[in-house]
Structure 1
Amino acid sequence: MSSVIKLEIQKKTFKKKGFSILNDFELEVQPGERVSIIGESGVGKSSLLNIIGLLDTQYEGSYELFDSSVKDLSRDKLAEWRNQKIGFVLQESALIDSLTIEDNIKLPLMYANIEKDPSVQEHFKRIVNKIGIESILKKKPLECSGGQRSRAVFARGVIMNPQIILSDEPTASLDSKNKENIIDLLFEMNKEFNTTVITVTHDLDVANRHGRVITLERSE
């Protein structure tokens, strides 16, 4: 079986700060794997997700994604894959305050011009029902609680039914019930669509429910 991700990083350097992270780091992930990443603050967990998700190309190393060298992809192809093949649930994924929660979630669908597809509409309903945000769809982000906004960001990250879902602390601001709903939906998608799930978390319970746990350590 061909790997969906084959990443080799010599180092990721922050020149202004004078240090590097992810030194001699290698990661290979098979389609449909569930991988969690843990480690103390500052070891490069979020940076790693940004590299995997094609948001950061400023590192020394090589990266093959979907059997293609990332360095050979055009800017348009990178943008297309970020919208259609990779779902981001990142802490910095801000919602647009001028749009309703529903329109925020549907943004990737609008970019792909598939928001009116009946099967897509059913997928949208399934997600919002599963994570319990039906009541806030017509509200603006500033009218919602932090936990509600976090769930909306999650919904936007999975709405395209991507091949890879990258989650950065997806349950950090949620109560136990909503935490379970998020994890259940992640794993349902993993099972039903063979979605590859990569989750950064400080929650060891969440981490250990993945098939593989990777611990990042501080570079010397």
Structure 2
Amino acid sequence: MTKIIDLSIKEKTYKSKNSQLSILNNFNLAVAAGEKTAIVGESGVGKSSLLNIIGLIDRNYVGAYTLFGSKTNSLHTSELAQWRNQKIGFVLQESALINSLTIEDNIKLPLLYAGSGKKEFKAEDFESVVDAIGIKPILKKKPLECSGGEKARAVFARGVIMKPQIILADEPTASLDVENKERIVTLLFKMNKEFSTTIITVTHDLEIANRHDRVIHLERNK
């Protein structure tokens, strides 16, 4: 299979006023197109930071990164933004919904940012995602009118609506009950099967992790 991610991190550091934290030292990751990879590990080892690096949000590290066959350090700001919108779907814990917009408009937001370069979008694609994760009743509500679980499912829908080549999911099922957790995982894996979408999931749920093709265990630097 074609390698879609080839990442080598020598070091990633966080600096505060009185200390410096080093994570992901000498970490290497290669992911094939269409692969389902889970990332597990205790809090503070760099799981979310790794997703931010893979998703081109965080570029402040020492290392090299080739994505979709291109060296990311040579990409212009506009290219990075386009890739983040059209090629990479984010389901991140920090992905706040915009409170002034309805849930439906929040989900469709990536289509507005895509502009003239957007992929062909069909109404049935939206309906399919909404029905699959059971959020049709809340589409006209605003985020402040929704529960945490409902908002989590809306964030997920927004992350997959563009049918991206890569989906980066940070604890996508953490706030969900068993039924809705299964809905999310089923849709995630359906996209992987139908569109060869590459899935990278950070999770504390080992049952979810073990349903991926591969599980990567991050450990604290010695």
Question: Structure 2: which 5+ runs fail to align?
Answer: none
Q: Indicate the residue corresponding to 1:11 in structure 2.
A: 11
**RMSD across aligned positions (CA):** 1.4
Equivalent-residue separation in structure 1 for 2:25 and 2:182 (angstroms)? 34
Residue 56 (structure 1) aligned to one of 42, 53, 58:
58
Q: Indicate the residue corresponding to 1:110 in structure 2.
A: 112
Q: Indicate the residue corresponding to 1:81 in structure 2.
A: 83
Q: Indicate the residue corresponding to 2:69 in structure 1.
A: 67
TM-score for both structures, normalised by structure 1: 0.97
CA contact 1:164–1:197 (8 Å) conserved in 2: yes
Equivalent-residue separation in structure 2 for 1:14 and 1:117 (angstroms)? 37
Q: Indicate the residue corresponding to 2:26 in structure 1.
A: 24
Equivalent-residue separation in structure 1 for 2:46 and 2:172 (angstroms)? 17
Size of the alignment, in residue pairs? 219
Q: How does 1:154-173 map to 2 (within 5 A)?
A: 154-173=156-175
CA contact 1:87–1:164 (8 Å) conserved in 2: yes
Equivalent-residue separation in structure 2 for 1:67 and 1:76 (angstroms)? 18
Task: Give a deviation string over 1:19-71, Cα, whole Å, max 9, x none.
Answer: 21000000000000000000000000000000000000000000000000000
CA contact 1:32–1:190 (8 Å) conserved in 2: yes
Task: Give a deviation string over 1:196-217, Cα, whole Å, max 9, x none.
Answer: 0000000000000000000000
Equivalent-residue separation in structure 1 for 2:119 and 2:10 (angstroms)? 43
- How far has the Cα of 1:111 moved from its partner? 1.6
Secondary structure of the structure 2 residue equivalent to 1:183: helix
Q: Indicate the residue corresponding to 1:97 in structure 2.
A: 99
CA contact 1:2–1:67 (8 Å) conserved in 2: no
CA contact 2:9–2:26 (8 Å) conserved in 1: yes
Secondary structure of the structure 1 residue equivalent to 2:66: strand
- How far has the Cα of 1:120 moved from its partner? 2.4
- How far has the Cα of 1:118 moved from its partner? 7.8
TM-score for both structures, normalised by structure 2: 0.96
Seq. identity, %: 67
Secondary structure of the structure 1 residue equivalent to 2:101: coil
- How far has the Cα of 1:117 moved from its partner? 8.6
- How far has the Cα of 1:15 moved from its partner? 2.2
Residue 207 (structure 1) aligned to one of 194, 206, 209:
209
CA contact 2:119–2:162 (8 Å) conserved in 1: no
Equivalent-residue separation in structure 2 for 1:118 and 1:38 (angstroms)? 35
Q: Indicate the residue corresponding to 2:179 in structure 1.
A: 177
Question: Structure 1: which 5+ runs fail to align?
Answer: none
Give the aligned residue type for 1:5: I
Equivalent-residue separation in structure 1 for 2:77 and 2:108 (angstroms)? 23
